[in-house]
Structure formats: C-alpha cells, structure tokens
Amino acid sequence: MKNFIITGTSRGLGKALVKTLIDKNHRVFCISRKKDPELMDLAKNNSGNLEFFELDLGDSKKIRGLMEEIFQRIDLKTAEGIYLVNNAGVLAPVKRLEDCEDQEILTNLQVNLAAPLILTSAFINGTIDFKGDKKVINISSGAGRKPHYGWSNYCAAKAGVNLFTRSVGLEQEKSAYPVKILSLAPAIMDTKMQEEIRSSNKKDFQELEKFKNYKKEGKLLSSEVVAEKVKDLLLSGNFEQGELLDVRELL
Ligand SMILES: NC(=O)c1ccc[n+]([C@@H]2O[C@H](COP(=O)([O-])OP(=O)(O)OC[C@H]3O[C@@H](n4cnc5c(N)ncnc54)[C@H](OP(=O)(O)O)[C@@H]3O)[C@@H](O)[C@H]2O)c1
C-alpha cells in the first residue's frame, strides 16, 4: 500500500490531486478544515481508502499531534511508500505591509510556512526507520522567487518554503534512509486563489489587470493538469534532492 498525506484538499490543486490518487492500492490522508463529501463518495465508489482529518493549519500546535495520529494508522512494515504534499496555502493579506494587522501576518506565515515545516519535520521523524520510498513535495509559487507589490507575506512564506526545501535536501543527503524533497511552483492555475487575486483592490495589488488578462486570454492551467504532474513526480521521483522546479518545465 502506498500512503499519501495531502493538505488543502477541499478544492483546487489539492482536491484534483486526491482525485488522481484514489485507487485500491493507495491510502490517502486528507488534511483540510472541512471534509469533502464529493471526494468521500468518489473513494467509496472506487474502492479507495480515504480519510479526512479536519484541522486549521493556522493552529500550529495541533499539527504534530495530528501527524502522530496519521502515523499510527500506517503500517511501516508493509507500506510500499509514504508521501507528503504540502499544498494548502493562503494569499491574504493582499496589501502593503504597513497596512497589515499582526494577526493577518501570523496567519499567512503559519499556514504557508510554519505548517509545511512542522508537517515535514513530523514526516521525517515518523519515517526515520522506513527504508521504502518516501517523498515530500512542497507546493511553492513563482512568488517565492519574484517580488509582487501587495504580496509581501505570501512572497516571504513561499521563499521560505523554497529555502527550507533546499536545506532539508542537504540534511537528508546525510541520512541513512533519506526522504526525497522537492519544491514545485505550479504556475498559474484556474482555482479559487486566482479568483481571489482577480477580486483584489487595484490600490493594494498593482498587477491586477495583468492577472485579469491571464484569465481572459486562457493562460491559466487547470488544476487537473498540474495534479497529474504532481502525481508523476511523487511516483517517479524524477527530480534532484532539494530541487526547486516550475511545473512549466514539465509541460
Ligand atoms: N492558483 C494558483 O495560480 C497558484 C499559483 C502559485 C502557487 N499556488 C499554490 O498552490 C497551492 C494550491 O492553491 P490553489 O490554487 O489550489 O488554492 P485554493 O483553491 O485557494 O485552495 C487552497 C486550499 O488550501 C486550504 N487551506 C487554506 N487555508 C487553510 C487552513 N488554514 N487550514 C487548512 N487548509 C487550508 C483550503 O482549504 P479550506 O479553505 O477549505 O480549509 C484549500 O483546500 C497553494 O499552496 C498556493 O499557494 C497556486
């Protein structure tokens, strides 16, 4: 059995990825604030093994306990592979940094950066003696490499995701049974996050017209296309340890 732990599975890329992973030989652990009845029905009708864990990833202190609960359900002796995809993400707050409230800043960093760090730490510990296939894919963003007016929190968090991926890659090279780790920028996908970007205020987000045009000109990727690439990367391991990759390099 291959075991997949995926965050942010209620919509967008996370939900599309879970759909591609439903299979009688896979066990999928979904972490989201709410259960998704469509995914649960899909799993039921296709002999899939799917479990939902409801957690707000802004609640950093509860993450490690949840991972312990998930690892209690995974039989390391018979597991063929164990995989983590840190996909959940939030864009807000979209405004100049001096206009952000402290709580908005903290929530952004907790969901986008602290949660993937804690989940990855718990994943490495939980699989330390596991000799089989184990991988972590962090869903980053082009915004982790390039600044955007109004996105200081999101850019900082995604840059952090890129650099922690590279650092953990170096650490894992020294491990007896290394976890392979990748940071993947999923380009621009037609999801609720893009709707949120297009509903930003011009004053707060100066690239508003550009992003509205991406949609008008059909330049957004579907989350299904990106999900297939994430699945391929998880199963093939066709990437360097600690690599930063953009999904467009694979299309
Ligand atoms: N869409 C793009 O163009 C784009 C571009 C670059 C990078 N990305 C990245 O790709 C990933 C997926 O984005 P998407 O476009 O699919 O976004 P989305 O449609 O907005 O979905 C985001 C997912 O994250 C979950 N999430 C948000 N806050 C959470 C919290 N506090 N606790 C638990 N889950 C939470 C959401 O679940 P609930 O809100 O239901 O809990 C939802 O399932 C994100 O990391 C995003 O930064 C997206």
The reply to whether 154 belongs to the active site is: yes
pLDDT at 198: 98
- Report the pLDDT value the prediction gives residue 22, as an integer from 0 to 100: 98
CATH label of the domain that carries residue 10: 3.40.50.720
Question: Tell me: the pLDDT tens digits for 35-70?
Answer: 999 999 999 999 999 999 999 999 999 999 999 999
Q: Provide residues with CB under 6 Å of ligand 1.
A: 8-14, 32-34, 56-58, 87-90, 111, 139, 141, 186, 188-189, 191-194, 223
β partners of residue 244: 183
- Which pairs count as long-range contacts for 165-168, CB under 8 Å and 24+ apart, including other chains? 165/138, 165/140, 165/242, 165/243, 165/244, 166/242, 166/244, 167/242, 168/120, 168/124, 168/136, 168/242
Does the residue 199 lie in any domain? no
Residue 164 lies in a domain: yes
Residue 243 included in any domain: yes
Residue 76 corresponds to which tokens in the numbers above?
A: 């390391």
Residue 46 lies in a domain: yes
Q: Which of 83, 149, 154, 177 is catalytic?
A: 154
Query: Could you report the per-residue pLDDT of 187-198, keeping only the tens digit for each?
Result: 999 999 999 999
Q: Average of pLDDT values for 81-92?
A: 98
Report residue 161's pLDDT band, with 50, 70 and 90 as the boundaries.
Answer: very high
Take atom 14 of ligand 1 and give the residue whose Cα is closest: 12
Total domains in the chain come to 1
pLDDT band for 143, please (50, 70, 90 cuts).
very high
pLDDT in the model for residue 56: 98
Instruction: Say what the pLDDT of residue 201 is.
Output: 95
- Nearest-CA residue for ligand 1 atom 37 is 8
Counting DSSP H helices and E strands in the chain, the numbers are: 9, 7
- The domain in which residue 155 lies consists of 2-187+223-250
Amino acid, single-letter form, for residue 66 = L
What's the confidence (pLDDT) of residue 235? 97
Within a domain: 204: no
What would the pLDDT profile of 114-126 be if each residue is shown by its tens digit? 999 999 999 999 9
Residue 26 C-alpha to ligand 1 middle, in angstroms? 23
Q: What is the mean pLDDT of the chain?
A: 98
Within-domain flag for 218: no
pTM of the predicted protein model: 0.99
Atom of ligand 1 at shortest distance to CA of 158?
Answer: 47
213 occurs within a structural domain: no
- 193 falls within a domain: no
Q: What is the average per-residue pLDDT within 79-88?
A: 98
Concatenate the DSSP letters of all residues of 140-161 into one string. Answer: --GGGTS--TT-HHHHHHHHHH
Question: Residue 4: what are its φ and ψ, rounded to 5°?
Answer: -120, 130
Q: What's the mean pLDDT in 133-162?
A: 98
pLDDT at 27: 98
pLDDT-based confidence at residue 217 (cuts at 50, 70, 90): very high
* Phi, psi of 156, rounded to the nearest 5 degrees: -60, -45
Both structure tokens of 214? 């991406």
Q: What percent of the chain is predicted at pLDDT more than 70? A: 100
105 Cα to the center of ligand 1, angstroms: 17
pLDDT at 207: 97
Assign 18 a pLDDT band (cuts: 50, 70, 90).
very high
C-alpha 112 – ligand 1 centre gap (Å): 9
